[in-house]
Amino acid sequence: MKKQTYTIGFDLGGTKLAAALLTDKGEMLDFVKVPVDMKRENSAAKTQKRVIQLMADIALDFKKRFPKETSASVFKGIGLASAGPLNAAEGKLINPVNYPGWKIVPIRDLVEKEINKQGFKTKVFFQHDATAAALAEGWVGGAKGMASFAVVSIGTGIGSGIIFNHFPCQSQGMGSECGHLIADFNKLKNNPDKLHHCTVEGIASGTGLLRRAREMGFTGNSVEELVESKDPKYNVLYADMAWALATLCYDLSLTFNLEKIFISGGLIKIKHLYLKELKANYSKMIRQLNPMFECKIEIAKSKNHAGVLGAGYLPHLYSQKKS
């Protein structure tokens, strides 16, 4: 009888860190989620040190509370998924958009070194958060058995994870940064120094929604406050969000001829403001070109746990590649 194995998954984003201890079937034995303020210290180096230490502390806490599951005989390793851009093969963040001042940071090796230093001898594996979300959907979600599909993660930023013919769509450790595709070239033409504002992420992410709302006079500090205001003048933001996400799904469909596109991330909780319109916009566009490229758009079954589940799958994935 095959022995059950375990992993830890970390999902690092611009505003939070999630972590879970997982079985090899993707079941969560424990889950924690803590806020991460990337601007608190006003120093990228100090923030990096704090975030790395936080991950080490959580890993050591899991080990203390689950000694059998984290013993060397059954524990496969730790997976870390992060917002990018990044190089998954080299374990490096490369000027990540949502981590102010972070440049090229060998985060995989830094996290592994800190955890090992504290007595937890294990390997750390690394991947783009949206690619991890896609791996999770293929592992335990709605994409089981599919060869080519994508996950669009809508949160602080917009991530895209593409599995193409069973493999993550990356080259030399990089790729799947489709959230940065241009969605408003007219605005870019008039503001060439504000590229990010003209991308899908700049329009449809939590950060983009807040920035645009503040330009319209909003004084709150979160998307939750924006939604709770119920001010109809902000409806245009959700309409633009639906169009931007529809164009992203259109581009993904034409490029990869996908079986399905799944939506995940923290802003699933406000899906009533954009999802129906997203689907309608996408369908109208793709049918004008060629309906054979149209695929279903669904909420990911792994939902907002997709990143942490996918991170926990990484040790299994890389051990399979070795064998």
Domains and CATH numbers, the chain: 6-132+305-322 (3.30.420.40), 145-300 (3.30.420.40)
Give the per-residue pLDDT at 70: 98
User: For residue 195, is pLDDT > 50?
Assistant: yes
Tokens of 246: 């529809």
User: For residue 3, is pLDDT > 80?
Assistant: yes
User: For residue 228, is pLDDT > 90?
Assistant: yes
Q: Dihedral of the CA atoms 228, 232, 237, 239 (nearest 10)? A: 110
Query: What tens digit of pLDDT does each residue of 142-152 get?
Result: 999 999 999 99
Distance CA 122, CA 125 (A): 10
Distance CA 246, CA 240 (A): 10
Distances (CA, A) of 61 to 54, 56, 111, 241, 286: 11, 9, 15, 39, 49
* In the block, residue with structure tokens 């949160």: 155
Asked if residue 151 lies in contact with residue 180, where contact means CB atoms within 8 angstroms, the answer is no
User: For residue 239, is pLDDT > 70?
Assistant: yes
Give the mean model confidence (pLDDT) for residues 86-105.
93
Cβ contacts of residue 302 below 8 Å, gap of 6+? 133, 136, 137, 140, 141, 264, 309, 310
Give the per-residue pLDDT at 302: 85
Please provide the average confidence, as pLDDT, over all residues in the chain. 94
Query: What tens digit of pLDDT does each residue of 19-67 get?
Result: 999 999 999 999 999 999 888 888 999 999 999 999 999 999 999 999 9
323: confidence class by pLDDT, cuts 50, 70, 90: very low
pTM of the predicted structure, to 2 decimals: 0.84
Ramachandran assignment for 34, one of left (phi > 0), alpha (psi -120 to 50 degrees), beta (any other): beta
For a pLDDT cut of 90, what percent of the chain falls above it? 83
Give the per-residue pLDDT at 308: 94
Asked if residue 278 lies in contact with residue 109, where contact means CB atoms within 8 angstroms, the answer is no
For a pLDDT cut of 70, what percent of the chain falls above it? 98
Query: What tens digit of pLDDT does each residue of 201-210 get?
Result: 999 999 999 9
Distances (CA, A) of 121 to 32, 87, 113, 171: 21, 24, 9, 30
Cβ contacts of residue 190 below 8 Å, gap of 6+? none
Contacts 24+ apart (CB under 8 A), 57-65: 58/10, 58/17, 58/19, 58/32, 58/34, 59/8, 59/19, 59/115, 59/120, 60/115, 60/118, 60/119, 60/120, 62/8, 62/19, 62/21, 62/30, 63/120, 65/30
- Rounded to 5 degrees, what angle do the CA atoms 300, 301, 304 make? 70
φ/ψ of residue 138, rounded to 5: -75, -25
Query: What tens digit of pLDDT does each residue of 148-164 get?
Result: 999 999 988 898 999 99
